Structures are given as C-alpha cells and as structure tokens.
Amino acid sequence: MSVSDPQPLYKDDAYDRVWRFDSKYNENGWYDLYYNDVDIGTNNGAYKLPAQVLRSAARSWNVSYSLEFNYNDEFLDLDWPYQYYVCFHFAEMEQLPHGKKRIINITLNSKTSQPLVLEYLKPVTLEYVTQGDVRFTISATPQSDAPPILNAYEIYKVITQLDSPTQATDVGAIQDIKNAYQITRLNWQGDPCLPKQYAWEGLICSSDTNPRIISLNLSSSKLTGEINTSFSYLTELEFLNLSHNELEGPLPEFLAELPKLKVLTLTGNKLSGPIPKALKDKADKALQLSVADNLDLCMTGSCKKKNFVVPLIASLAALSVTLSISLGFWIFRRFKVVHSDTSSLKSKHRAFTYAEIVKITDNFKTTIGEGGFGKVHFGILQDHTNVAVKVLSPLSMQGYKEFRSEVQHLMTVHHRNLVSLIGYCDEGEIKALIYEYMANGNLQKHLSVENPDVLNWTERLDIAVDAAQGLDYLHNGCKQPLIHRDLKTSNILLDQNMHAKIADFGLCRAFGNDTDSHISTRPAGTLGYVDPQFQRIGNSNKKSDIYSFGIILLELVTGQKALARVHGKNIHILHWIVPIVERGDIQSIVDPRLQGEFKVSSAWKFVEIAMLCTSPTAAERPDMSKVLVELKECLYLEMTVEGISERARTVSGLTSPSVR
C-alpha cells in the first residue's frame, strides 16, 4: 500500500478490510510505488481487492535486491499450533519495453515456488499454507528484466472445522434474518456461535454441545419492512431487541409463541395496529415488552376504525348535513375522552391541604431526609399507606424552582422504576410533594462500609438494571424526553422488595433530540457525578446522565464512593479504577466485601459497560437503550451459574405486570 495513505478503507472492498503500509518497510529496502492514472480495475477473484490496492505496490531498488518480511519481527508472535493462509497479490502496472519481462520467485519459510511471470494489467493472487511462522522473500530471477514487486499480502489464521456446530435450525433462521434485512456486519460469517471469540456481533449463545441462540440484539441496525417470520424458529431465544429501527406493519402473534422469550424490546419503530392478545397475556405474566415510540401501535383497547356507511343520496345538501352530524359526534366523543383523561390525572395526583400534611406526618415528627429542596418526612395516609412528604423550605429559592420542575415532570411520567407522585400541597408559601414511601432507603447507604448488610452481586446487578430501565424511560420512552441531571446513589431509592427507583426530579429538564444539547448552563448535579464535558463547556444532554449513571455502576461494582478523601485530597473513582482496569485485575476492582462471590465474566462485562458510560468524550458513550440491553445480558451471565431466583426474574425485567 501507499505510504501516504497508511490505513485506508475502500468502498469497493467487499470484505471491509483495513490496508496498511508501515514506513519501516522503506528502511528494509521497500520502495513505494503508486499509479493513479492506470485503470487496473478490481480483482474479481475470491479476494476481491479494491482498485486502489492494486494500483499501489512495493518494489526493491533493483534486480539484485529482494523484498523481505518476517511477521514475528513486525507484530506479535504467531501461534505455532495453527495453520495460516498467506496470500500474495501482484499486478504489473509498469509497461516494460517490448520483449522485457518481470519474473519473480516467492520464498515462504525457506520453500521457493516456481517462477512467476507478471503480465501488464493482469492481477495475480498466489495462495500458500504454512504453520506457526510467516517469513517470505520476493526476489527477481536471473532472467528478470525488472526488480521484484508486491502489491499486497494477507495472512489468515485457519480455524479448524467445528466438531459440534450451532444447532441447524438456529443457523438457518439467523441466516434468513441476515438475508431478509441485508445485514452487513463484518463478522456475520461462518458459524454464528462458534468459536466463542468469533461469535456474531449481537448474539449470545448457550453453552450446549450444539449451541443455541439465546439473545439477539439488532438495535439500531437499520432494519426495514415487517418483522420476519424467521424469528419464530429461534425457539431458545430469551432476549430479543429490535429497537430503534424502521420496522413497520403489524406486531406478529408468533412472537408470543417463543416459549422462552423473557425480554422483547421494540421501542422506536413504525409498527402499527393492535398488540396481539397472546402477546399482552404473556406480558402480564412472564415477558417484559417494550413498545414505546411506535406512533401507530395501539397500546390498549380496540384499534378498529369506525366504519361510517353513508347511503348514496341525490341531494348534496343532505350529504352535507350527514357529514356535519358525523363530525359533531366525533368532536363530542373526542371531548369526552380528553375530559375523562384530565379528570383521571387530577384524581391520581390528589391535592392535599396543609392541615392534612400536618396530620399525615404527625406534625412532622419523623424526618427521613434533607436536601436543597427542604426536609423529607415520613407520613401515613388515612388508608394506612406509608408515604414520604417533601416540604419546601421557605428559605430555599432554588428549591422553589425545583419544586415547580418536579411537579411538572412527575405529573406526566409514570414508570415502575421511577418514584411515584401521590399528591401535592400548594397553599401560598406552603409547598409539599407526597411520594410513595421507599422502605429500604437509598443506594448510597447500602453501599456504605458502615452498612453491615452487604449487597450481594446479583442484588447489585438487579439494582443496576432497575435504575437503567427508569433512565431509559426518561430518555427514550417519554413523549418529551427528559434529562435527570442529578443522578447519584442517594437518588436511587429501594422499596421493601429491594426494587430500585430513580427519585428527585428537581433539576430535570426536557430536550427535543440528541442535537439539542444546550439545555442549560445553570450548575446542575453533584460533585463526582457531573459530566466533565459539561464542566468544561456548560452544555448538557442525555449523555451527561449516562456519565453519571456510569459512576453509579462503578460504585456498585467497587463499593467505593464517587469521591473519596485520601490524605486530605479528593480522589475520583475513575482515577483509582482506570490503572487497575488496564492491568486486567478484576479481583482488585470488585468490592472485597463480596468475598469473591461473583462470576468473573459478569463482573468484567459490568466494568466495561461502566467505562463506556464514563468515556471523557460524550459522543463515545452509548445510548441508554444499549446500556440497558448490555446490563441485562450481564445479569444473564450471572444467572446462568446461580439459577434464576424469583427476585432476579422480577427485578431484571424478566416479568412485567403490564405492557409499557
């Protein structure tokens, strides 16, 4: 390859390879050539070299010098037990005088081939098989009239034939899915599951003798058309994510017939029509079904359109009267629906008087928390429901702004992983919010070294998944997406069953889309959790939330605080953990209080997710929908060893009381 373009990718490369030229070759007597004006075309053989690769070449100084290469001198040592395919690509681009020829010898690992005569503009590829070592020399024969050249070479490691390949039905199904949606992922070649290190991107397979596909993530894969019937043949599938594509048409009933399906994510497509009854029934029992942001999909009730039969009439005036009556009836029905929804909203979020607040809290007897907004008190409603009552301090001007923000957002967002608003009080200077009571307090207290009841690894994974589901709903499930802007462990609350819910929406802000990043320059968040990019330029978007969430994940896995005081200085958790990650020492990362009770693969995946979320560059951080899928797969890795407890099934979202 040309030294001026060291690692290019080419559109006409069928295999999307990276071609490189190392300047060290020049030091070894390789002379760089490039012929822009030669129409060499493409190599139509099995290797399909791009035209620009064929137009470049390396040449020795003269016929007396050769081109020499030793793979182990330039790169990591090859594995001796393995065989390697070595492919040499040649294309004569120099039109030699009549009767003159370029004739070369190829010596690979001390074995020399028959001489090769190159012809003008006729590409040639030679293939060889060797074991554990690649050393070659390209030299001119005594009869050659020109120095040796080499346009390109490739080295392939040979993976032995699989004794127990992926189950045939799954292979056929995933191949059909690949063809139907024209999926062009580079590693979607060969066996989908084996070898494990080369499993297709987005797939997780079982560890059976003949592996089965148990998880398939095709989120944001530009899928179009209807949901293909081939998915129905993946009968061991437990997780299926088709979110954020361009899928359209009805939601097929065959998805409900997948016997082991636990999580089905279809958010952000163009699906339409009703949700099949069988799928709804399954979602009520053992399936987490996410279908938000499919504007034409009916969430509840019947989707059948009213069929108005208008008799054929002679009088245009009579037709006008009929249409007017129909229109009036439609407006009346629509008014009734809107009025009904408004009444429901008001009744769900009850207005309390100050006197009722005093009675509920027993005159503010028990304080359970305090923040910039004011104090939080324990209370009991008349029906014996325990609640938390957040009362605005009259001295807090910022608290009043947060009060308004929190009321506005909690009136419109409803999710099982967000703390629910029961009611409010707004009497002049008296402002208060009444929430569901979270009996087990906040996550910060549970991670504290002073807490004698240490969270086990599965509980930490469950909490991470719960919180991720709540944040994913804020970012991707709301009609008007929201940024929390103050995510931290003290704002992750736990109910009596240790289900996690996100709380404190006082700094929450709405945003339109990913490019709407300049939400506010007002200081927001808590030291240690604030996105460093926001600190530098003052703009925040949902990637700022994802950074904060990544810090929470690091606290969960390490048991350390976001900021720790060491020798009189604040040490951020990232400064502590990054060198250990680079050393690959997972045992030094995981909270020692777990006493090694965790699966290493699950912990490593968890750390990798956290590190992606806390990338210094916002653009490199994944979307929350992707983080959620990865955390669920992380939980699955742990459960494959421990077995699935009822607690794990519920918290991880493997069961769902309703369609979201």
The three state secondary structure string of 105-146 is: EEEECCEECCCEEECECCCEEEEEEEECCCEEEEEECCCCCC
Structure tokens at 152: 């390109």
Tokens of 163: 């004794």
Residue type present at position 285: K
DSSP 512: S
What are the two backbone dihedrals, phi and then psi, of residue 77, each rounded to the nearest 5 degrees?
A: -60, 140
Q: Contact 553/609 with Cβ under 8 angstroms?
A: yes
Q: Are 377 and 388 in contact (CB under 8 A)?
A: yes
- Distance CA(308)–CA(324), nearest Å, equals 13
Outline where 51-96 has alpha helix (H). Answer: 51-54, 71-74
Give the distance, in angstroms, between the CA of residue 273 and the centroid of all CA atoms in the same chain: 28
Angle among Cα 185, 191, 195 to the nearest 5 degrees reads: 100
Rounded Cα distance, 135 and 107, in Å: 8
In eight-state DSSP terms, residue 161 is P
How buried is residue 417: exposed, middle or buried, by Cβ count under 10 Å (0-12/13-18/19+)? buried
Q: 436 and 503 in contact (C-beta within 8 Å)? A: no
- Measured N-to-C along each axis, helices 542-558 and 600-613 cross at an angle, to the nearest 10 degrees, of 150
Gap between the Cα atoms of 435 and 388, Å rounded: 5
> DSSP label at 331?
H
Cβ burial, residue 508 (10 Å; 0-12/13-18/19+): buried
The amino acid present at 62, given as its one-letter code, is N
Provide the 8-state DSSP code for 441. Answer: -
573-583 vs 542-558: helix crossing angle, rounded to 10: 70
Was 390 annotated as part of a binding site? yes
Three-state DSSP class for residue 323:
helix
What sections of 538-595 are H helices per DSSP? 542-558, 573-583, 586-589
Catalytic residue among 170, 486, 591, 623: 486
Helices and strands: H and E segment counts in the chain: 17, 32
Residue 79 catalytic? Answer: no
Cα–Cα distance, 216 to 229 (Å, whole number): 15
Name the region of 329 (left: φ>0; alpha: ψ -120 to 50; beta: rest). alpha
Q: Are strands 288-290 and 263-265 parallel, antiparallel or unpaired?
A: parallel
Q: Which residues are catalytic?
A: 486
Please report, in range form, the residues annotated as the binding site. 390
Give the annotated binding-site residues for ATP. Answer: 390
